[in-house]
Structure 1
């Protein structure tokens, strides 16, 4: 077996082992979860950790693997990274993408705030989804009142023509010019949130299009009511805006929560993000350190298991009996490793696992 083939084999096998060890995909939303402490009793801690923005530089797709779910694929990249790909059919029948779905008004909802629960737990990113910071930079104009006028998002400085990325997987509801927003893209996500991207110089998606986290949805600009190039970014739930900094640390590009408890009081115009208590941050960091050590141990075990595997390319005259003698094993063991029977005909050029 040549070096490249062996490397590819080890990579695929290691990935398969890691996927078996990974937590099962979570539901997009679980309204029973009200606090982080409750979530920790139900969910694996990796699902609660902060999440770094994806780095798509240099990622060249190499292959696609099927999973047990026909609507979910695994995309492998040349740099040995991978991610899930969800077929749009997985979500297109979701009522989230049908109710109040229209392309004219930024807020199509007719929902009274009195009908909203005091708290609702939202999956921001589950094990099938990704996250990309729309524009990583320091916030220079925050959520809240500005010059006696409500500012329903954050302003992120950028140069004209800078790519603007979809923060999460979703479907484009609006992609056109709208009043003070200038060129505006609104994406609705499976958890019911909507993200707004305003003042774009160019829109690069179409309405009703499905996009993945990290997709370039437009280029930065200064259209609409704008005093200079910047991205106006909003997060809304049922039409009600809340401070995006509850979700994203824009300066580091980090997603603060994979499971986010949205409190009704956050929908108040003056409710800005405030950091969690110092002790809670310490507890989270200590828990994350333990999880990282455990993940590293499992990954090392998977690497060693993959490296220990050995394959043989079938040649003229090879039989299961002869291979069993050559590799100090048994015919039964070879059959179990390869899912074959003792009567299976060996095909020339095919690879068979021997260890």
Structure 2
């Protein structure tokens, strides 16, 4: 009996000390529990990301093993190739590549953190893994050295370094690959082209790009992967201007920016934010002036991009010499920007001044004209009718 009493006394002392434990000690214990839970959660996220990395590595490794395991057919005789058939197949393949297709913008990686960079069997190709578990292939720029496209006529200060290029020697058409498994696309800014901001002659001046109305500070994206050739303020009218040269020889221009976010010589990926929309230079309101050029020669960007829907029109582009409808090695002519604004104001004022009258029983053109302080001739001119036209009840006539 004494043994059991001693045991009960010991248990009572333990419970009493626990009950008298200070409140701050209990709070500390709760905090430690929460910290442990948070650490476990972070470990779980890290484990999931590690699993994804391992999965991608396994994909790359498996693909390499399959390629290595394929039996070589060294003993098989080389097939006899018919030159005419090969040419026909080549033309058919080219026609397939040139067919119209809608290519959506690549996913936006701005704001995402690169978790890991994985190698592949090809040292020039890498896999980039982002913090949202998305991934994509890119070129390893340390291995895949830039071609002469980024050396010949490369100038980070002169807007147009192609003045010595003789375009008369250019073939009638050039095949240009726009996207492939490593080269992506992103719409520079999605929106409708301004009705008076299309490519082509405008008030006897040359408009060598398209104008996309936007809000001040809206992000502007690199259309294709490439290297920044120009990032500077241009006094000729472009304002803050970024020019990117791409692997295929094309250059894209981004003008009137409020802010430039890239530097000359910097490599950018399609979809990277290269600046913010603005109204710098010779501009009367916020918009993006966007150009596409080949060896300094401009052509209509809408041949490549459906800006309203934000899609690329095709994977491979047949650039014809005839597309250079405005022959100029010089810059954009922005002198009509003010004239555009004045015309917009005039049209808005005319629209506001328009007045209509709904015909009622017993009305005549003379009575309507006197009532609104105008003439029958003016009403006929505004409505495309004659003074002898029969007036129909309920029809609206423009009287001013």
Q: TM-score when scaled to structure 2?
A: 0.57
Mapped partners of 1:106, 1:220: distance in 2:
20
Shift of 1:103: 2.2
RMSD over aligned CA atoms reads: 3.2
Residues 144-184 of structure 1: CA deviation (Å, up to 9, x unaligned): 01121110000111111111111111111111011200011
Residues 31-60 of structure 1: CA deviation (Å, up to 9, x unaligned): xxxxxx956526986997432112316755
1:7–1:192 CA distance, 2 compared to 1 (3 A): closer
Q: 3-state DSSP class of the match of 1:197? A: strand
1:181–1:3 CA distance, 2 compared to 1 (3 A): closer
Q: 1:246 corresponds to which residue?
A: 303
Q: 1:169 corresponds to which residue?
A: 225
Mapped partners of 2:310, 2:91: distance in 1:
24
Residues 300-325 of structure 1: CA deviation (Å, up to 9, x unaligned): xxxxxxxxxxxxxxxxxxxxxxxxxx
Mapped partners of 1:47, 1:85: distance in 2:
25
Give the one of 174, 179, 198 matched to 1:142: 198
Give the one of 100, 104, 127 matched to 1:52: 104
Matches within 5 A, 1:1-355: 13=58, 40-41=92-93, 49-56=101-108, 59-89=112-142, 92-109=145-162, 110-140=164-194, 141-178=197-234, 179-269=236-326
Mapped partners of 2:208, 2:58: distance in 1:
48
**Relative contact order: is structure 1 or structure 2 higher (C-alpha 8 Å, sep ≥ 6)?**
1
Residues 116-168 of structure 1: CA deviation (Å, up to 9, x unaligned): 11001011112111111110111111100112111000011111111111111
Mapped partners of 1:5, 1:189: distance in 2:
34
1:80–1:39 CA distance, 2 compared to 1 (3 A): farther
Q: Is the 8 A contact 2:237 2:281 kept in 1?
A: yes
1:227–1:39 CA distance, 2 compared to 1 (3 A): farther
Moved more, 211-220 or 44-53: 44-53
The answer to which structure has the higher helix fraction is 2
Shift of 1:71: 2.4
Q: Is the 8 A contact 1:11 1:80 kept in 2?
A: no
Q: Is the 8 A contact 1:47 1:127 kept in 2?
A: no
Mapped partners of 1:152, 1:20: distance in 2:
51
1:75–1:215 CA distance, 2 compared to 1 (3 A): same
1:46–1:75 CA distance, 2 compared to 1 (3 A): farther
> Structure 1 regions of 5+ residues with no counterpart?
22-36, 271-355
Q: TM-score when scaled to structure 1?
A: 0.64
Q: Is the 8 A contact 1:184 1:199 kept in 2?
A: yes
Number of matched residues?
255
Q: Is the 8 A contact 1:137 1:251 kept in 2?
A: yes
Shift of 1:227: 1.1
Q: Which has the larger radius of gyration?
A: 2
Q: 3-state DSSP class of the match of 2:116? A: strand
Q: Is the 8 A contact 1:47 1:126 kept in 2?
A: no
Moved more, 66-75 or 41-50: 41-50
1:39–1:106 CA distance, 2 compared to 1 (3 A): farther
Q: Is the 8 A contact 2:222 2:273 kept in 1?
A: yes
